[in-house]
Chain A
Amino acid sequence: GAGVSQSPSNKVTEKGKDVELRCDPISGHTALYWYRQSLGQGLEFLIYFQGNSAPDKSGLPSDRFSAERTGGSVSTLTIQRTQQEDSAVYLCASSSTPDREETQYFGPGTRLLVL
């Protein structure tokens, strides 16, 4: 596709349930980023992938959060045993290479609401 896509666009779940958020980066982009944006807040960096590898997972807020990327393309962010404080917009971005001239292209986000 022409841009980064994310699905679902909105997700409502009950506390304690697991959710999976999907990101399809721009074709050929090797770097992929996940962010969380809570209401009225800036973006909180979660994790970065270079290819299928995540060299730095320190941004994940807890061990309930995990992410994977397969085939150097699609990425899935999984939140286990969701809590109400997980409610936020989850944004994905991709870039061609994580080099000095990198520009991130953002998807429209997934709005997660945990009841």
Chain B
Amino acid sequence: AQTVTQSQPEMSVQEAETVTLSCTYDTSESDYYLFWYKQPPSRQMILVIRQEAYKQQNATENRFSVNFQKAAKSFSLKISDSQLGDAAMYFCAYRSVNFNKFYFGSGTKLNVKP
């Protein structure tokens, strides 16, 4: 079974600075999807960014970008120009192409200091 590991339970960043959240995963599949979700205190899960494994180019979405290293099975999230509203739990997730199951990491709590 696939596993997703987020080794940083909590991180802090100064407002306007850059922070990188780590995620590694284990799979024997060659094609899959990777996601980063944000969960603020409201509990609502919000999709931040998505990466298809067959695409070599790293996905970007405004201030959010990923560093996808397929061989290393690593999928880190970089948040540039951090804002107070970025404070939340961030979850890394894996989805198999052939099976509609999602596997989530345990999350990283991001604190943003003013």
Contact = CB atoms under 8 A, between A and B. Distances in A.
Contacts of A44: 104
Contact of B107 (A42, A45, A59, A109): A42
B52 interface: yes
A72 interface: no
Nearest to B50: A103
B100 A103 contact: no
Contacts of B100: 31, 33, 48, 50, 55-56, 98
Interface string B72-108: 0000000000000000000101010101111111110
B37 to A, nearest CB: 8
Contacts of A100: 33, 52, 97
A98 B99 CA distance: 9
A23 B47 CA distance: 19
Interface residues of B, number: 25
A89 B33 CA distance: 25
B106 A59 contact: no
B91 A42 contact: yes
B30 interface: no
Contact of B44 (A43, A55, A106): A106
Which of B6, B37, B43 has the most chain A CB atoms inside 10 A of its CB? B43
Give chain A's interface residue range (CB within 8 Å of chain B): 20 to 34
A108 B42 contact: yes
Interface string B17-59: 0000000000000000100010000111111001010000000
A93 interface: yes
Interface of A: 31, 33, 35, 40-45, 48, 50, 55-56, 59, 89, 91, 93, 98, 100, 102-104, 106-109
13 contacts: A41-B107, A42-B4, A42-B107, A43-B91, A45-B104, A59-B101, A100-B97, A102-B95, A103-B47, A103-B50, A104-B102, A106-B37, A109-B43
5 closest Cβ contacts across the A-B interface? A106-B45, A42-B104, A43-B104, A42-B106, A48-B100
